[in-house]
Chain A
Amino acid sequence: MIIDGHIHFASPQCQYDPVAVAECIRLARLAGIQRAVYLMNLVDAGGYDPTPADILRSNDLGVELHRHHPDFFLPFCYLHPAHPPEQLLAEIERMVVKGPCAGIKLWVSVNATDLRLDPIMEQAALLGVPVLHHAWYKATGYVFQESTPAEIAHLAQRHPKTTIIMAHLGGGGWRGVQDIKHCPNVLIDTSGAQPQAGLVEYAVRELGARRVIFGSDWPIRDFATQRARVTGARLTARQQDLILVQNLARLLHLHSEYLERHNV
């Protein structure tokens, strides 16, 4: 079993498309991936600065994905921290407390150093769910309020009781790993950019294998190709198993399911 901690959809108007969903699951299973965290829809979800309606539409797609394929999709609740706190908390209530979401997704609409993230981070800590936050170092310039790994570290230090998954090891690179090394509440996913050799090993060496999780960023990237970043790295079988399965299983409380499937 492999759990992919980072996928999207690019579904027009955030509509549930059974053909596209079936193709996603087929390609994932071809790569040995049995579960996948759905983060947000990439098109028609408001871009960098979504409205509350955009957020609802993208999250509703997550509900539909989970309703049709509860054994495959693990949706996260997408939020825009600039929206009123009562709206944010209501959406967390709808999607996490009463809905199927196992975590919260933050992208580039508000920078990680912005205090408007605080209600979200505090609620996530209360509920015991992780917050996956986009991060990147870009020589080409940043989009909207995009965060760097150093800014994720700032967020992590403000909220030490909240578990953060910093997205895009490939985007943050070696410096990004260093930024979060001393933030034990931050894990990193392996997605992002080109598969620079040695980077996954570096993350494991500096953070430990328990703080690295597999993420493909499909359909921007490819399932099998991204899996090979982990299986092609010089890691032990135990380290690979932690990254590909166990860390997310532990974080999302799927561990009993994992043990059952492996007859442990």
Chain B
Amino acid sequence: MYDASTFVGTWPFDAGATTTVGQLTRLLGQQGVRAAAISPLGSILAAEPQAANRSLLRALRRRQDDQITLLGVPILDPTQPLWPEHLAECLIYGGSLVRAIKIVPNYHVYQLGESVVADLIATLRRQALPLVIQLRMVDERAHHPLMKVPGVPVNDVAALAATYPDLPILACGAYQSELASLGSAHNLSVELSFVESGYLLRDALAHLGPKRLLLGTHTPLHYSAVGVAKLASDTIAPTIRQQITETNFVRFFGAIS
């Protein structure tokens, strides 16, 4: 089982403590997760995202245990002048640990239609790197009253995917109600950490099909067990389960050693 959306670091609105790579590994391992894509929480609200990216990649390189394969997904802010240098540093320092780049347009305050995004995507395509878009970090109803951050508009995500049909894009943090809008672009996948209804697998499969859904837990902000339990919410064919839990992850992030 592979997890497409996890984090390390500190989320200032969360009552929990800082989560290290080792602690994340234990949380995921308890649920049977054998590979995970990790992004640094510190890159979202810090004035400069690269320090947290650097810290994550350093921790991943120093790992001694190999029970779980961990892939780094650095977070870039394409409105910052030095983002090309940040990306280059991540790729040089992270090497094969870096399989995708994540952006958080709502927290970094830009629209997906802006030219900075086009510039970033041009670079990602040259590097053959897929793009991960974090739509939200927290249910909007639970935001701090002084920091209400709307989710990234899903129609913008779908439009971006349609503009770059050869660019694999993964949307993280989508609600069930947003799946219909995300279903139109064949190069757009969705992880399941925020997707939920009484018929979540049936509805998610109806909108995106089995090749575009990925297991995601949003650990450590969400209970890891909850993300994993979504695959047990209904009876599905073993082949579809395999696609959601592993095959689609490998297609997006690359092979797991």
Contact = CB atoms under 8 A, between A and B. Distances in A.
Contact of A171 (B15, B141, B218): B141
A224 B230 contact: yes
Nearest to B30: A232
Interface residues of A, number: 35
B198 interface: yes
B224 to A, nearest CB: 7
B222 A195 contact: yes
Given A138-B141, A174-B15, A219 B224 contact: no
A221 B16 contact: no
Interface in A162-198: 171, 173-174, 193-198
Interface centre among B142, B197, B199, B220 (most CB of A within 10 A): B142
Nearest to A219: B198
Interface in A125-159: 136-140
A138, A194, A232: residue with the most chain B Cβ atoms closer than 10 Å: A194
A229 B233 contact: no
B226 A232 contact: yes
Interface in B42-98: none
B207 to A, nearest CB: 16
A200 to B, nearest CB: 8
B194 A228 contact: no
A24 B194 CA distance: 21
B148 interface: yes
Nearest to B17: A198
Interface in B124-151: 138-145, 148
B44 to A, nearest CB: 17
Given A197-B16, A224-B230, A139 B143 contact: yes
A218 B198 contact: yes
A31 B198 contact: no
A90 interface: no
Contacts of A197: 14, 16, 219-224
B141 A233 contact: no
A233 to B, nearest CB: 7
Contacts of B142: 137, 139, 173, 193-194, 196
Interface string B3-17: 000000000001110
A204 B221 CA distance: 19
Given A173-B142, A198-B15, A228-B225, 10 more contacts: A27-B199, A27-B234, A30-B235, A136-B141, A194-B142, A196-B221, A222-B230, A224-B229, A228-B223, A232-B223
27 contacts: A27-B233, A30-B232, A136-B141, A139-B141, A139-B144, A140-B140, A140-B141, A140-B143, A140-B148, A194-B218, A195-B226, A197-B222, A197-B223, A220-B198, A221-B196, A222-B196, A222-B197, A222-B199, A225-B196, A225-B226, A225-B229, A226-B226, A228-B223, A228-B225, A231-B225, A232-B31, A233-B223
Interface of B: 14-16, 31, 138-145, 148, 194, 196-200, 218-226, 228-230, 232-235
